[in-house]
Structure 1
Amino acid sequence: MALRSSAWGKGALLRLDAQLGTDHASRFTTSDGPWERWVDALEQLRAIRVWVCCTIG
């Protein structure tokens, strides 16, 4: 769910830039930028949670 939400959020940022004629989203959406690192962190946190649940569970 979080990854799907992040896609909507990224799309909203890019659309706002297009509508306003600005380029504010580019600092977040560059390769290995904050947006990509946040999505990667979510995937890692999910993997850790699954491992802990399976180990303890």
Structure 2
Amino acid sequence: MAIDIPHGQVGVRTVSEVRKAGGDVIRTSGKSPHHATLSGLTPEKISNLLTPTYPNPARQQ
């Protein structure tokens, strides 16, 4: 099953890594059954946590 992530680049972390950084990940509704919301971190911390980014493997060229 392919996951429809519309973005060209993705950052990847586990829920435990996000929580260790002081944030939280909560399952929420969205375009995918795997959608979740990250909260409790500043935009700068989120950016640092999700860097480096990788080309989205779900997007076919």
TM-score per shorter chain, which class? under 0.3
Relative contact order (C-alpha < 8 Å, sep 6+): which is higher? 2
Larger Rg belongs to:
1
Normalising by structure 2, report the TM-score: 0.25
Q: Which structure carries more strand by proportion?
A: 2
Q: Which structure carries more helix by proportion?
A: 1
